[in-house]
Amino acid sequence: MVVSRVTLLVDLDGTLLDTAPDMGAALNVVRAEEGLAALSLAHLRPQVSHGAAGLIRLAFPGAPEAAQEALRWRFVQHYSRALTEHGTAIFAGFAPLLAQLAAAGRPWGIVTNKPAWLTDPLLERLALPHPPAVVVSGDTTTQRKPHPLPLQHACSQLQVDPSTCLYLGDAERDIQAARSAGMPSAIALWGYLDTDAAHLRWGADHHVTHPADLSALLALHP
């Protein structure tokens, strides 16, 4: 199936942006405060798409729920003060794609579970070429992915039908949300995927190996 002239909606962490270096650095600050050794970026990377809660579970296995919440808050405070100091950047190949969208007059959007108080300053600092026409953060609506409401809200803001969009993500919740919203989906294979190839069972419509591959899916080529 090829999706023709759709509006591109993308996840943030592990799809549009490689935020693992800065999120990993903040997590290791908390580990150091607890007298623990730093974890390697390779070990942390597959969990970054699961947000602060997932990273805390990885870094502090067995910690009681109340302790996890306190650790999570400390983590996000450290992260908020250093959003781009350790190498966060747009994934290679996305800038040319955004330029193609701009040249074609095609809007695009971001739908993420990251809260707006982190999403907004992060995007401001990165100053993306051809900025998104809509940004739906984890606290923009009353539900978060895998609920379809954030994707439906993005479509409402853009005045497009979900069936004419493509949602690109790197977590199962992304594919579930798209399916529930009646939206075609794609997996960003460059993202923060687990090594067990579980993503092959998520039922996405497309598996994209490089951002440039989206040009054909979005009918950007003449």
CATH code linked to domain 7-18+88-217: 3.40.50.1000
Residue 171 DSSP class: S
Q: What are the pLDDT tens digits along the chain (222 aa)? A: 444 578 999 999 999 999 999 999 999 999 999 999 999 999 999 889 889 999 999 999 999 999 999 999 999 999 999 999 999 999 999 999 999 999 999 999 999 999 999 999 999 999 998 999 999 999 999 999 999 999 999 999 999 999 999 999 999 999 999 999 999 999 999 999 877 778 889 999 999 999 999 999 998 754
Q: At what angle do helices 20-33 and 51-59 cross, to 10 degrees?
A: 50
190, two tokens: 């460059």
Domain coordinates of the chain in residue numbers? 7-18+88-217, 20-80
Provide the sign of the torsion angle of the four alpha carbons 150, 156, 162, 165, taken in this order: negative
22-48 as b/e: b if 16+ CB within 10 A: bbbbbbbbbbeeeeeeebebeebbbbb
Residue (of 63, 105, 89, 81) closest to 220 by Cα position: 105
Q: Which residues are catalytic?
A: 11
pTM of the model: 0.94
